[in-house]
Amino acid sequence: MASVPPGNNPKEKEYGLLGFIEGHPSNLPDPDADRVSSYPHLVAREFLAFGLMLATLLVVSFLFDAPLEELANPAKTPNPAKAPWYFLSLQEMLHYAPPFISGVFIPGLLVVVMCTIPYWRGRMVLMPITFLLAAIILPLLDGIVWAMLHSVAPGFADATRSYGFPTFIMLIVAAFALGKLLLSPYFDDEARVERLRTKLFLTFVGIVFVLVMIGQFFRGPEWRWVWPWQ
């Protein structure tokens, strides 16, 4: 009895827990797909990619030096003082909208909406994307609405400028318009909604990209428009 390993003797075959479970013993979406072992197929690709990345990084580091300006001087404000490039879209909006809207409200909304993208179902998938777009576009219009408010009640307009009330009013109006829009039978076609969602998200990415580019290459002293060759 001891001479035969347990698994090889059919009379004494030991069953694992999975042997008693109905169905395929894995939660893979398609158990019958064409698979290869990760080692070496995936691991070799990872090493190759890491090596190429490191080589590229070394070459770039030999060719281009990281910027180092003069010692920090609180008394000497550079003009313009630019944020890191990935925050330039926010700084560009700071040019149009009050700081709370462009620097706090929109980034906060972006993070919340980004996080909830997978949880919006059916036609509601349009909501987060539209919020993202509205969060970028409405503050750009904020200046116009504020100017109108200023012509009616200058004192109130000046006192509340930094909170960006016009943006909030426009957001509420946009939310009602969006509600009407979402009731339209246009959105019953799931495939069409998917395509529209992709287009809207790409528009959002495009707007952020353009704002970063403008901030990086087209803004000079006093945040004035400057052509790169000027």
- Give the 3-state secondary structure of residue 225: strand
Minimum Å gap between C-beta 114 and another protein is 5
Smaller CB separation from another protein, 63 or 183: 63
Residue 86 burial (C-beta neighbours within 10 Å; 0-12, 13-18, 19+): exposed
- Contact map string, positions 43 to 72, toward another protein, x by CB under 8 A: x-xx--xx--xx--xx-xxx-xxxxxxxxx
Tokens found for residue 128: 């987060």
Tracing tokens 């390993």 back to the chain, one arrives at 5
**Under 8 Å between Cβ of 113 and 131:** yes
- What's the number of CA atoms in the CB half-sphere (13 Å) around residue 215? 22
Query: Other C-beta atoms within 10 Å of 168: how many?
Result: 14
The answer to the question of residue 205 lying near another protein (CB under 8 A) is: yes
Token match 């560009």: residue?
Answer: 92
For another protein, give the closer residue by CB, 22 or 69: 69
Does 41 engage in binding with another protein (CB under 8 A)? yes
Told to check if 173 binds another protein by CB under 8 A, we report no
CB of 145 to another protein, least distance (A): 19
Q: Give the footprint of another protein on this chain (CB under 8 A).
A: 27-29, 33-43, 45-46, 49-50, 53-54, 57-58, 60-62, 64-74, 76-78, 81-87, 90-91, 94, 98-100, 102-104, 111, 114-115, 117-119, 162-163, 194, 198, 201, 205
